[in-house]
Amino acid sequence: MNIIIAGAGEVGFHLAKMLSDENHQITIIDKNEARLNQIAETSDVVPVSGIVTSISTLEKAGVSRCDLFISVSPADEQDVNIVSALLAKQLGAKRVTARINNNEYLKNENRVVFTELGIDLLFYPEKIAAQEILDLLKQSGTSEFMDFSGGRLQLIVLKLTESSSIVNKSMKQVAEENGGDIPFRAVAIAREGNTIIPRKDTVFQIADLIFVITKREAAHAAMVLSGKENVVVHNLMIMGGGRVGEMVAHSMETRIEKVRVVELDSVRCQELTVSLPRSLIINGDARNTDLLLEEDLPKMDAFVAVTSSAEANILSCMAAKRAGVKKTIAQVENLDYIKLAESVGVDATINKKLITASRIFRFTMTGDVPSMKCLNGSDAEVMEFIAKPRSPVTQKKVRDLEFPRDAIIGGITRGNSSLIVRGDTEIKPYDRVVVFSLPSALQTIHKFFI
């Protein structure tokens, strides 16, 4: 696929690296030549120096031959993203996407306006990050969470502790001890920096990060087996009053007893006082542990750190853990710090670059992929395909499909029902199929669904 990325900021940089690894032809545009050269040194891309809203620059980048145009200049350049995407569509790009920072544009009636103008997808990384945090607060026993097909199937990610009843047991043993037909399935294990697609004889170990596909009603049972319990959040402290922190607080302040937002900037605190009338806004440095303790940190059920500093977010979550907070979530934009955060006890991490990549990456898949997510703590992706009539995946039982060994089918939804996949499962046309895959299998998987 011929892909053009407009904007070489952090999101553009990460997308270029990820997409070039998938053997796409990538061109990246930016006026910052030093930044372009840096990307070109680490990824197989064609750098084009110029302004992303310049018609001549777009033509130089080959926009008329472009299959996918991705406009991802920084969040404060929303208008630039929209204009460059509109120009790209008019100049011949088949599909275009644009990064925005205005929640109003995502309302259903307004999305139609942008679709009619020619923009196929608008994405707001901060809003997606806020929604992920809200999901994690709802399913507080998991370090990552994703709904499929309206929640009939769910992905939960659990870290095994000494209290887990499945440690030192194989998948086959766990199934036999729980009646054979358990309503969830482990589809991957992250262990010591490697991702494993588990088989029947794979043995679970302490500190494994287990990726589980489960029916909604069985999520609690899966957590109990892992030694985790769901924490009901009544009191929440948020460190950082930026867009993500504000959106989380706005959603939570009408649902729970107390929401406290700690923000360093006094002007921003005044704005938050107006936009968050039911939250307590605290002007102070959340890196100051004494301040957090004065503001009743030990009484909090959950602590969310979403400042621009990954280091500060991780350290403050560590302090919250020491104070007895049961659920901690840190925004960690430096990918190298994600494993560090997990190793020091942070319960869950949020990364806007991975979130954005998930939304855009499915546009590069030739099959029908309604949802997809790049996962923290793993180098893999989970995606949901729709099985087409006469597609290869519908022709045999799952065990006979010769599905890639670096991928696994976890579950399907059929109408209003959901199924955890077994070897004798037969996939029907229009089933929504949840697949977990390592990068090595991504280019092969879609052939089963076309």
Q: Which of 108, 126, 110, 100 is nearest to 247 (CA)?
A: 126
Is the distance from CB of 13 to CB of 22 less than 8 angstroms?
no
CA 126 to chain centre: 12
The answer to pTM > 0.85 is: no
- CA–CA separation, 404 and 248 (whole Å): 39
pLDDT at position 93 is 96
Distances (CA, A) of 96 to 67, 93, 298, 318: 8, 7, 47, 41
Amino acid 377: pLDDT: 65
* Residue matched to tokens 């996918």: 68
Q: Are strands 348-350 and 407-414 parallel, antiparallel or unpaired?
A: unpaired
Residue with tokens 């399913």: 139
Task: State how far the Cα of 322 lies from the Cα of 403, in Å rounded to an integer.
Answer: 45
Q: Which pLDDT score, from 0 to 100, does residue 315 have?
A: 94
Three-state DSSP class for 68? Answer: strand
Query: Which segments of the chain have a pLDDT < 50?
Result: none
Using DSSP, state whether 426 is helix, strand or coil: strand
pLDDT attached to residue 181: 67
> Any idea of the CA torsion for 379, 409, 26, 377, to the nearest 10 degrees?
-20
**Amino acid 143: pLDDT:** 66
The half-sphere exposure of 408 on its side-chain side, counting CA atoms within 13 A, is: 20
Which amino acid would we find at residue 145? Answer: F
**Which amino acid is located at 244 in the chain?**
V
Per-residue pLDDT at 447:
85
